[in-house]
């Protein structure tokens, strides 16, 4: 008879993520006594100590770390099985996760989401932002089911279908008051190394993060979205490449200065992508919807925007 239950693993996972029994109870809608009893019974059944108690805070023991490391695979497998069973019964997924590169605003999908809810109220939607390689990793790790506007070619190894939807050029720009604004062009690597670069932080957890044009020892300000990168460059805190459509508007308004550099950033192709062998009704609906003409034009309209003047 198995001494390990999925419920116990779920509770251990919640305690580890939330840091205490009480916080785990709130997440799982269980009273603290139930959480404490389940952990104590698990430790008794296994004959090992899973947590070290230090007042309200708890930490996993080495045995607990190993239990949770493998246990999370079991929890994910059980969740996937549950979703597959329900999908077989109804044809519709219980949940669909859509990943977008953080370059684009999620408002892009507002009308699509409204249309989806008219035909599929039984499927929960989750829209998440990832950045750079993190978008592809989220698809391959099954954290998302569909990518919209994923940058660059996907990773080697296959397991997914990808379709190019358009290409965006980039412009190197600095604020008018930045020291590089008046430097003779093209800017050399040695000149750039003296100043701070502003980048979008790659959200990849396991894959190698992408870096573009950064030099060894370069002072870098990493931000979570292209909009925040755009805003900080407007504020003069550093330099970097920006999508040409939004950069041109700022240059025309006198808020940025375009500079030629020795090593320009090549244009980037963006993709629509999903895993092979997946054919749920919700995913099929979204793929068909996103394949309709005009998706890339909509993406361009949801690039970073100039902030409202106060």
CB 223 within 8 A of CB 200: yes
| pLDDT for 207 | 77
The confidence band for 213, taking pLDDT boundaries of 50, 70 and 90, is low
What helix, strand, coil percent values describe the chain, rounded to 5?
Answer: 40, 20, 35
- What is the phi-psi region of residue 220: left when phi exceeds 0, alpha when psi lies from -120 to 50, beta otherwise? beta
- pTM for the model stands at 0.70
| DSSP class of 109 | G
Q: CATH second-level architecture of 91-167+269-301? A: 3-Layer(aba) Sandwich (3.40)
The CATH architecture that domain 169-265 belongs to is 3-Layer(aba) Sandwich (3.40)
pLDDT tens for 7-29 read 888 999 998 898 888 888 888 88
For 149, other C-beta atoms within 10 Å of its C-beta total 25
Contacts 24+ apart (CB under 8 A), 20-25: 20/56, 20/57, 20/58, 21/56, 21/58, 22/56
Q: What are phi and psi of 47, to 5 degrees?
A: 75, 25
Q: In angstroms, rounded to a whole number, what is the distance separating the alpha carbons of residues 284 and 72? A: 28
Predicted pLDDT at 1 = 66
CA-derived radius of gyration, the chain = 24
The percent of residues above 70 in pLDDT, for the chain, comes to 94
Residue 292: CB atoms within 10 A of its CB come to 8
Partnered with residue 52 across adjacent β-strands are 59
Summary mean pLDDT of the chain: 89
- For the segment 218-241, the average pLDDT, to the nearest whole number, is 93
Choose the CATH number for 6-88 among 3.20.20.70, 1.10.10.10, 3.40.50.300, 1.10.260.40: 1.10.10.10
The string of pLDDT tens digits covering residues 107-165 is 999 999 999 999 887 788 999 999 999 999 999 999 999 999 999 988 888 899 999 99
pLDDT value of position 309: 45
Helix axis angle for 32-46 and 6-18, nearest 10°, is 120
| pLDDT score recorded for residue 75 | 87
Q: Helices (H), strands (E): how many in the chain? A: 11, 12
Handedness of CA 278, 282, 288, 293 (dihedral sign): negative
Does the fold of domain 91-167+269-301 match that of domain 6-88?
A: no
- Alpha helix locations (H) across the chain? 6-18, 21-28, 32-46, 62-90, 110-119, 133-140, 189-192, 226-234, 244-252, 281-290, 295-301
Q: What pLDDT score was predicted for residue 92?
A: 82
Q: How far apart are CA 232 and CA 249, in angstroms?
A: 16
**Are 157 and 128 contacting, i.e. CB atoms less than 8 angstroms apart?**
no
Q: What is the pLDDT of residue 310?
A: 41
Domain boundaries, given as residue ranges, for the chain? 6-88, 91-167+269-301, 169-265
């Amino acid at each position: 008879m198995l001494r390990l239950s999925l419920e116990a693993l779920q509770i251990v996972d919640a305690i580890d993520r939330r840091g205490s029994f009480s916080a785990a109870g709130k997440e799982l809608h269980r009273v603290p006594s139930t959480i404490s009893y389940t952990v104590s019974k698990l430790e008794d059944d296994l004959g090992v100590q899973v947590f070290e108690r230090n007042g309200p805070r708890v930490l996993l023991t080495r045995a607990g770390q190993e239990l949770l490391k493998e246990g999370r695979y079991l929890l994910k497998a059980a969740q996937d099985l549950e979703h597959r069973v329900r999908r077989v019964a109804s044809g519709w997924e219980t949940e669909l996760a859509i990943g977008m590169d953080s370059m684009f605003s999620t408002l892009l999908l507002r009308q699509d989401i409204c249309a989806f809810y008219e035909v599929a109220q039984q499927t929960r939607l989750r829209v998440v932002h990832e950045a750079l390689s993190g978008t592809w990793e989220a698809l391959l790790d099954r954290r998302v089911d569909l990518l919209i506007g994923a940058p660059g070619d996907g990773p080697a190894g296959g397991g997914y279908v990808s379709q190019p939807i358009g290409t965006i050029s980039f412009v190197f720009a600095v604020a008018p008051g930045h020291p590089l604004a008046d430097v003779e062009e093209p800017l050399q690597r040695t000149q750039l190394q003296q100043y701070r670069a502003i980048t979008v932080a790659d959200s990849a957890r396991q894959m190698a993060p992408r870096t573009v044009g950064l030099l060894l020892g370069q002072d870098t300000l990493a931000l979570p979205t292209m909009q925040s990168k755009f805003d900080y460059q407007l504020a003069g805190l550093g330099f970097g490449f920006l999508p040409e459509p939004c950069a041109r508007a700022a240059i025309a308004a006198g808020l940025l200065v375009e500079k030629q550099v020795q090593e320009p950033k090549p244009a980037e192709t963006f993709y629509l992508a999903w895993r092979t062998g997946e054919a749920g009704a919700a995913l099929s609906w979204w793929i068909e919807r996103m394949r309709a003409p005009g998706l890339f034009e909509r993406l361009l309209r949801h690039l970073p925007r100039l902030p409202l003047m106060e």
